[in-house]
């Protein structure tokens, strides 16, 4: 069980997240949604130990993760929003590097890395440098790296960016399979259709505060709205995008010199 308790993070006195609490149970897929700048990445950076909270704590199986970060990280698989992979390495070499850092044995590591790359459609690319990979291919290497050590907790931050239709469907099926295996999954995404389909619960955060925490079906029912997208727009009071788009196009024309 992942337990986020009263997390607050302030940057120069201004809270990026403010008293955030929620749990994710084994076998559960929880979607973490919010507009740009709402505090999603800040929360995830605290859970992965990259950032220290100003207040509050993160427990995994009842233990504060800061008590033993090394053993917590050994059970964590994380696909970051922005990754800085070693592009001069091949996909397989990258997985071998990650596996070695996690203390995996060399021989099974090579076999496992090769198998994961094959399943993710990268077998013919496994010896090519990552610099030659497309965005979606890099993303698939990162997904393989997150699965490599069979972690119990998986955090995916915007994992669909750059994935084509088939890879995105595979990823969706993978989430369902991971939850069937009892993994704890936190899924940050702006792709609300997918969140609605795969998540057991969704948490909506805006301006650093949690606005809702419920199964997507309950939210649409309670708020009498047809989709999670509408619920989200209502909760975070999104602007009238059509009107803003019209104003943008009107603003483009002002002062333009057309030859």
Question: Where do contacts with ligand ATP occur on this chain (CB under 6 A)?
Answer: 11, 16, 34, 36-42
User: Between 5 and 54, whose beta carbon lies closer to ligand ATP?
Assistant: 54
Q: Which is nearer to ligand ATP, 11 or 107 (CB)?
A: 11
Contacts (Cβ under 8 Å, ≥6 apart) of 240: none
Q: For residue 202, report the phi and psi dihedrals to the nearest 5 degrees.
A: -125, 145
* CB 122 within 8 Å of CB 137: yes
Q: How far is the CB of 12 from ligand ATP (least distance, A)?
A: 7
Please, what is the minimum distance in Å from the beta carbon of residue 137 to ligand ATP? 22
Residue keyed to tokens 């033993």: 68
Smallest gap from Cβ 81 to ligand ATP, in A, equals 6
Nearer to ligand ATP, 104 or 206 (CB): 206
Cβ proximity to ligand ATP: between 38 and 179 the closer is 38
Give the H or E element holding residue 23.
Answer: strand 14-24
Residue whose C-alpha is closest to residue 97's, from 82, 79, 85, 81: 85
- Helix 91-101 vs helix 106-119: angle between axes, to the nearest 10 degrees? 130
Q: Please, what is the minimum distance in Å from the beta carbon of residue 208 to ligand ATP? A: 7
């Amino acid at each position: 069980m992942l337990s986020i308790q009263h997390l607050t993070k302030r940057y120069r006195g201004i809270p990026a997240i403010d008293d955030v609490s929620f749990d994710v149970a084994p076998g559960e897929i929880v979607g973490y949604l919010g507009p740009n700048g709402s505090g999603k990445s800040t929360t995830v950076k605290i859970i992965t130990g990259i950032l220290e909270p100003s207040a509050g704590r993160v427990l995994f199986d009842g233990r504060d993760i800061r008590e033993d970060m090394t053993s917590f990280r050994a059970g964590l698989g994380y696909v970051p929003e922005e990754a800085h992979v070693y592009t001069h390495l091949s996909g397989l070499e990258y997985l071998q590097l990650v596996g070695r850092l996690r203390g995996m044995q060399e021989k099974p590591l090579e076999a496992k890395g090769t198998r994961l790359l094959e399943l993710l459609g990268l077998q013919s690319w496994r010896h090519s440098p990552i610099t030659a990979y497309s965005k979606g291919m890099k993303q698939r290497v990162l997904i393989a790296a997150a699965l490599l050590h069979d972690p119990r907790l998986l955090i995916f931050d915007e994992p669909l960016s750059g994935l084509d239709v088939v890879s995105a469907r595979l990823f969706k099926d993978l989430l369902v399979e991971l939850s069937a295996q009892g993994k704890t999954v936190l899924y940050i995404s702006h792709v609300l259709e997918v969140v609605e389909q795969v998540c057991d619960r969704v948490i909506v955060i805006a301006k650093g505060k949690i606005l809702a925490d419920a199964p997507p079906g309950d939210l649409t029912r309670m708020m009498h709205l047809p989709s999670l997208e509408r619920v989200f727009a209502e909760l975070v009071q999104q602007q009238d995008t059509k009107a803003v788009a019209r104003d943008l196009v009107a603003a483009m024309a002002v002062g333009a010199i057309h030859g």
